[in-house]
Each structure stands twice: as C-alpha cells, then as structure tokens.
Amino acid sequence: MTTAHHPALALACVAALASTPAARAVDTTALTLYRSDSPALYASHGGGEVDEGYAVVREQRSLSLVAGTHDVVIGDLPNALDAEALALGFPDGNAKVISQRLLLAQGADAALSGLLGHQVSVLGSNGEALASGTLLRAGNGLLVRGANGTTLVRDYAAVRSAEGDFPLGSSLNLRVDAARSGQARAVLSYPTSGLGWRAAYVATLQPGTACRLRFESRASIANRSGRDWRDAQLTLIAGQPNMAKASAPRPMMSMVRGPQDMVAGTLPQQESLGDYRSYTLPGTVELPDGSVSQVPLYTDRTLDCERTALYENGNRYQPPRPIVERDFNLDGGSAIVSTLKLTAFDSLPAGYLRVLTADRHGTPQFIGEGRVEDTPKGSDASITLGTAFDLRATRERTAFHVDKAGRTLDEAFRINLSNAGDSARTVTVREHPGRWRQWTLVSSSSKPSAQTPDTLEFRVDVPASGKAVLDYAVRYQWTADDQPL
C-alpha cells in the first residue's frame, strides 16, 4: 500500500481509469527504439525526464467495460508522448472509441492524475480518513465518490492507493461505446521521447606487428522517459528516418533476461526494414527509468585493421575559380594524427568506437575514441584515435610562380617529418591541391601511394629518432573561361 501527500508534501502519478471502469495492468508491451545521440539520454549524472530520443510503444491493455457509452481512463503513460499519433483500438471489435483526450501529468497535482478511477483513501494531517472511494478528479481539490455519495476534499495530507500501486505518467481519457460488459482487450500505440539507443563498440588491439583487433559490439539503450518498462519486447532501428514535426519526440545497467554469456542463437535478429535495419531482441528486457542498459549486437570476433599516422593538409573543397593569391594554403601545422580503419563484417549501426591496447604489463589501456557512422557490410569505418606523441611535421612552400598569360601556376612544398620514438614509423602525407580542379604532379621525392582528382598521398618512412623529407611540386592550368585576364 502506497501513500501520497498533499502538493507541498508528496503526490502521486498516473495509472488507469476514470469515473467507473478500470484499465488493468499492461499484458504485453513492444518497444521500437530509434537511434539517438543525445548526450542527455546517456549521461551518468542528472535525473528527471529528457525530451530527446524517439520510440514507438505498442501496449496491450485489459479494460473493464460496461455496456453502452461510458468513460475510461488509461494511465501510466509517458509524459512526452506524441498526442496526435496516439491510437487505441479493440481487436475483438466489441467496443469502439468515440473520443479521446490526453491528460498530461503537469502541475502540483500531476502525481494524482494517475489514480483517476482508482480506489483511494484521502487522509488528514493526523491520519484520519477524510474520504474513501473512486477518485474522480485531482486538481483544485480531490473529488471522491464513495458508498455514501461524492465528496470534495480541499485540505488533505495524503492519498493512499487501495490497489497498492502508484504508477507515474500521463493518462488517456476515453469515451467508449461497448457492445457488452466485461473485460476487453485493447491495443494502444504512440510515439514518445525519453527513449533511444546507439551502438557502443570496443576494439582491443592484439599483440604483434600486424594490425589485428578484438571487436565487441553492444547496443546502449537509454530510458529517461519518466517510467519503468518491464518485460518489454524490444526492437532497435538502425538508420535515420525523417522527423517532420518540431513538436514530435526528438531523437544502472540492466541486461536482457537470460544467460549473461549470450550465444549466437540468442543475439538480436537482424533484418531489413524499408531503407533501415532492425534488431529484434530474443527476450524481454527491464528498462528502469533513469537507466542505460546494454545488450549484445553481434558475437565478439577478431578482425584485421589498418593503423595510419596521418599528416593532412587542406580538404576536398573545389573553388569556383582558380586561386592565384600567394598566401593561400600555407601552413598545415605540426600535428600528426593516429587513425584506425576496419572493414565492416556486417551492418554496423552508428555509434562510438573505443580503442584499447595492452601496456607492458598486459593491462588494456584506452588510446582513443571516434564516431562510426552507419556502415554497410563490406564498407570501411575509420576513426581518429588522437595525436601521435613522438611524430611531428613542418610544411613550407619552396616555390611559387604565376603565369597569367599562360594561365598556369607552379607551386612546390617541402614537408619535414621527425620521429622521436624508438621504432621506425611510416607517415602518410595527404595533400589536397586546392587552387583549381585541373592540376598535374610535376615532381616528387617519393612516388605517390595514391592520387585522385583532389588528393595526393605519399607514404614516407621515418627512422627511429630520425627525420625524413618529402618534396613535391604541382602545376595548375586553366582556361580563359575559368579565369579571365
């Protein structure tokens, strides 16, 4: 039995029914969660509901109906659901909804709105019973209908639920026309915020000279909806559907019930869903409010990978005209970043990849984290781990000449690389000749490892505790239509 206190003390929140008939507990609940990267959903600090994320809820409710037209209230609903997309139907066809109104759990009496239609006892400050019966209204006093009539109570200390339940959330007020009295099965569906998921990957680099990693994939499921979800059937959607309405929901550890060491047969079932991917969990889940749960997406496996020490200048931007100003694209800085690339063994939903490597004691240590976008099977996923501590670079222009009459521009650069480490390193130098789309590599001290219309790449070996130099020159050409004299 639960007690709720008057506004200044403590109140209650949502459950079921209004005037007479009651909506019983949920029989089954199916949740479809869409990806959300909102930090508020996954934050380990703070509390309360979060208006981020997107989920579609399908609940089965057992309603106690009476023949004819009457009112029913369904409670224990999230506060941030999309009222325009809310729908309720009776699969057996023995009742129909005439009208519906969503009552949001807001204001000082929000906690009591869930007890509408429930049996309650209203208590005074010394514990005496002021009224007992069905709660008809909460707000500017409590309206209670009992055996001896209806009582309006304005000054009270606590409200006790006779059913021993004090659920939270908003409520749905229905006017129903039932063909006959008795229990009826109803299906309620609605979108809501406060729920979301994203992928969480961990890659542990394996010992040896070759790039190999142990890959773990999980789904992080956040619940900040303001209510608990118990025994829910869960489907995760990978991809990004368009959300047109600005008012629509925006996109403790608990585990799936079952063995902690999940085998392949108990992993989520993956399939196509329109332009997206769905992952249906094999068992039901518990999602307490204010929790982030993790479930496996795929079995752990060892993958080949590629690590690169990258020094990059410029980008793939193509200017609308040839850039002939002398000071364009000069200094590229000194930082050389470490990158990691792997090939997706299956569809990888968007999320974050944490990378670990063992120190000399064999202890896994964190060395970087990056964003992985939705990656189809067979495609590459790349992240930047961080800045290489022992590697540095400088870049200087060694030649520059513009021939306006001949419509050409010659430019040359020297890149100095240094390695303070105790082992040799290979640095990938990636240059983007960005003055104009037509250019030619005139000379280079190293042969390019890759060349595209907007990129030049060189792989330069830098000895331990040593240095290396890369020189290259390009010529740009254009026509009179591209750049009039």
Task: Give the DSSP letter string of 283-323.
Answer: EEEEE-TTEEEEEEEEEEEEEEEEEEEEEEES-S---SS--
Mean per-residue pLDDT, 137-144: 82
Kindly report the CA angle at 206 between 200 and 210, in degrees rounded to 5? 120
Last residue of a domain, one of 149, 174, 192: 192
Mean per-residue pLDDT, 77-99: 84
Look at residue 90 and tell me if it is in a domain: yes
Q: What pLDDT was estimated at residue 166?
A: 61
Q: Domain check: are 185 and 326 in the same one?
A: no
Q: Are 218 and 256 in contact (CB under 8 A)?
A: no
Q: What one-character DSSP code corresponds to residue 115?
A: G
- Total domains, the chain: 2
Look at residue 248 and tell me if it is in a domain: no
Look at residue 152 and tell me if it is in a domain: yes
Q: What is the pTM of this model?
A: 0.74
301-329 pLDDT, tens digit per residue, is 999 999 999 999 988 888 899 999 988 86
Last residue of a domain, one of 164, 192, 220: 192
**With bands split at pLDDT 50, 70 and 90, how would you rate the model's confidence at 113?**
low
Residue with tokens 């501590």: 389
| Sheet of strand 129-138, all strands in order from the earlier edge strand to the far edge | 2-5, 158-161, 119-123, 129-138, 142-146, 149-153
Look at residue 210 and tell me if it is in a domain: no
Q: Domain check: are 453 and 318 in the same one?
A: yes
Host domain of residue 428: 314-338+384-477
CATH number at residue 425: 2.60.40
Look at residue 263 and tell me if it is in a domain: no
Q: Which helix (H) or strand (E) holds 39?
A: helix 39-42
Q: What pLDDT was estimated at residue 84?
A: 81
Look at residue 270 and tell me if it is in a domain: no
Nearest 10 degrees: CA dihedral of 128, 131, 134, 137?
Answer: -110
Look at residue 161 and tell me if it is in a domain: yes
Q: What pLDDT was estimated at residue 196?
A: 93
For residue 59, give Cα distances in angstroms to 62, 230, 290: 10, 12, 21
Q: Are 410 and 442 in contact (CB under 8 A)?
A: yes
Cα–Cα distance, 19 to 220 (Å, whole number): 41
Among 111-115, 120-124, 154-158, 228-232, the least confident range: 111-115
Higher pLDDT, 342 or 12: 342
